[in-house]
Amino acid sequence: MRGQFNYSKKVLKHFRNPHNLGSIKQPDGVGEVGNMACGDVMKLYIKVEGNNISEIKFETYGCAAAIATSSVITDLVKGKTINEALEMTNKSVIDSLDGLPPIKIHCSLLSVDALNEAIYNYLVKNKKEIPEILAARHKRIEVLHKH
């Protein structure tokens, strides 16, 4: 079943059996973004121990690519430090899925934005310093994704 798009085997694998699906009770940070044009909505939850993301889960309403990118980003950053997680790019997500159809690239951007918002939320709630790059991303995300 290839459907309308030529999804890689990894995209289909994550779509059919997503990793880290669900919510976290009493998360340390939550990031929620949406794309009004396509209707995708992603919510990412993180738990932080020390400076590491010890647990990460997601709830996504969207297409196969949206679910797959949400799933793979949780795998990529679990156990990483906050700074390592902030280095995550949509290219990293796309590469981990062996590519995405061009029309679905925005899904990888949404997953990274949700992660950045969860980290931003964690830092604000804990009165920690917000790195300049994250503050700039948050402003861009607020304009683009708030629903």
Beta strands in 5-130, from DSSP E residues, in sequence order: 29-35, 40-49, 52-61
**Three-class DSSP category at 117:** helix
Sign of CA dihedral 121, 124, 130, 132: positive
Backbone angles phi, psi at 99, to 5 degrees: 100, 160
Active-site hit among 24, 38, 105, 144 = 38
What would the two tokens of residue 64 be? 């196969």
Tallying the residues shown for the chain, one arrives at 147
Query: Catalytic: 38?
Result: yes
CA torsion 28→74→20→24, rounded to 10°? 10
Query: Catalytic: 63?
Result: no
What would the two tokens of residue 25 be? 């009770």
Active-site hit among 41, 77, 94, 107 = 107
**Three-class DSSP category at 21:** strand
Q: How far is C-alpha 114 from the geometric centre of its chain's CA atoms? A: 4
Q: Which residues are catalytic?
A: 38, 107
